[in-house]
Structure 1
């Protein structure tokens, strides 16, 4: 079974929507894909908290809307709940996450390593398993010079943050049933835009659910053709596989 609830579907600087973070249920294992600075507020709105709702976290890259909530997980896990969650992360993101994002906020003389706060499960781009479900990290281009990954979960593609890459999307279309893709409503050098996604054939558009959109999405919908693209909604439960 695979279920999905988006804790948020907004762009990094959205005021209307929470950060684009995805809570997957993988045969009963609760995997949060990215944990941004609004993740805990979103969970609270749902009557949930990280220590009871999340078994593991997968990090795709180290922008604040994707890792800003990890400090709370680290500190509360260590000092309040005596709990470490699994942390799935590309091997080449382990040190940047610790050195550039978490060390200054959570380390002390006795705890000065990411593994002091998480069960670190560093990955390369080979497939791995979580509770009987196969996943794989896919290196994708986002901000030049900074590592970023999309993730393949069974036969589902989740872009996280990525530039438009038609070759990759076509390849993923051949392997997957659904594609969850970030989408800005204006042209961007670091995200796929709706205009770019609308250049894809209809049979591919029909598989795409857009996320990471800006606050004027509803206004945009009223005034523009969105082709066959679907809109992923935050706090809605989606059953993706029985």
Structure 2
């Protein structure tokens, strides 16, 4: 469903910054644009032939937003298209655009909590943003995405899973969950440890959960043994 071009936490750079995309024909939906993402998009030739680009941002930490400028500038100048950025905090993103030199004519910004992307190639994609606990300094958002008759939860960076999302999973109303998961576990961690994740998700539902944003302490063999997936 989602194609990951990076799956690492901020300091686990060997796995690349956590980011993924859906591409159909000439259109692409990109989730997050950390510092390593623009290079990877070029390496994979994902700008080639692109006529429509939608960018969903979960929060403004550098490993999720660090190359957003390039990801906007390149298609604007080389593909002659105006990307659309989706982020709930309008004023924060406008300030970020101003700081990095993104002009109003270079991209569109949509800040609704609930919206529908209607793209000629991607079809209709419903997005519902959810504020999630991460750090105190900036807002962070996960979202529920509905596309191709699938309902997906994507956590962004979060140290917990919202109760409403867990209820959807347990009631059989979520097809997949992409969850920020780390190996290190300590008080006031900004990310969700595998120890906490296993306590929250029943065994019979773990095959629907995909662990992403992996730190250097996460043991892949343990993740699989517990019944979860790795992106």
SS of the residue corresponding to residue 214 of structure 1 reads coil
CA RMSD of aligned residues (A): 2.6
- The runs of 5 or more residues in structure 1 that have no matched partner are 233-242
Match of 1:142 in 2: 134
Match of 1:117 in 2: 106
CA-to-aligned-CA distance 1:55-103 (integer Å, 9 cap, x gap): 110111111111111111333345554421111121xx2221232x332
1:128 aligns with 2:129: no
- What is the TM-score normalised by the length of structure 1? 0.79
SS of the residue corresponding to residue 7 of structure 1 reads strand
Task: Report the Cα distance in structure 1 between the residues aligned to 2:80 and 2:156, rounded to whole angstroms.
Answer: 30
- How far does residue 163 in structure 1 lie from its aligned partner after superposition? 1.3
SS of the residue corresponding to residue 123 of structure 1 reads coil
Task: Report the Cα distance in structure 1 between the residues aligned to 2:37 and 2:206, rounded to whole angstroms.
Answer: 29
Task: Report the Cα distance in structure 2 between the residues aligned to 1:51 and 1:143, rounded to whole angstroms.
Answer: 38
**Structure 1 residues 103 and 18: alpha-carbon distance in aligned structure 2, compared to 1, 3 A threshold:** same
CA-to-aligned-CA distance 1:158-189 (integer Å, 9 cap, x gap): 11111123624422313211101010111152
Match of 1:102 in 2: 97
1:202 aligns with 2:203: yes
**Structure 1 residues 33 and 211: alpha-carbon distance in aligned structure 2, compared to 1, 3 A threshold:** same
Alignment of structure 1 residues 1-242 onto 2, 5 Å: 3-25=1-23, 29-49=27-47, 52=50, 55-90=53-88, 93-99=89-95, 101-106=96-101, 111=103, 115-124=104-113, 126-130=114-118, 131-154=123-146, 155-165=151-161, 167-173=163-169, 174=171, 175-188=173-186, 189-199=189-199, 200-217=201-218, 220-222=219-221, 226-232=225-231
Task: Report the Cα distance in structure 2 between the residues aligned to 1:208 and 1:190, rounded to whole angstroms.
Answer: 19
SS of the residue corresponding to residue 71 of structure 1 reads helix
Greater alpha carbon shift after TM alignment, 169-178 vs 20-29: 20-29
Task: Report the Cα distance in structure 2 between the residues aligned to 1:50 and 1:98, rounded to whole angstroms.
Answer: 28
- How far does residue 156 in structure 1 lie from its aligned partner after superposition? 0.8
Could you list the runs of 4 or more consecutive aligned residues of structure 1 that deviate by over 6 angstroms after TM superposition? none
- The runs of 5 or more residues in structure 2 that have no matched partner are none
Task: Report the Cα distance in structure 2 between the residues aligned to 1:206 and 1:164, rounded to whole angstroms.
Answer: 19
Larger RCO: Structure 1 or Structure 2 (Cα < 8 Å, ≥ 6 residues apart)?
A: 1
**Structure 1 residues 70 and 166: alpha-carbon distance in aligned structure 2, compared to 1, 3 A threshold:** closer
- What is the TM-score normalised by the length of structure 2? 0.82
- Say whether the 8 Å CA contact 1:40–1:49 is kept in structure 2: no
Count of aligned pairs between the two proteins: 218
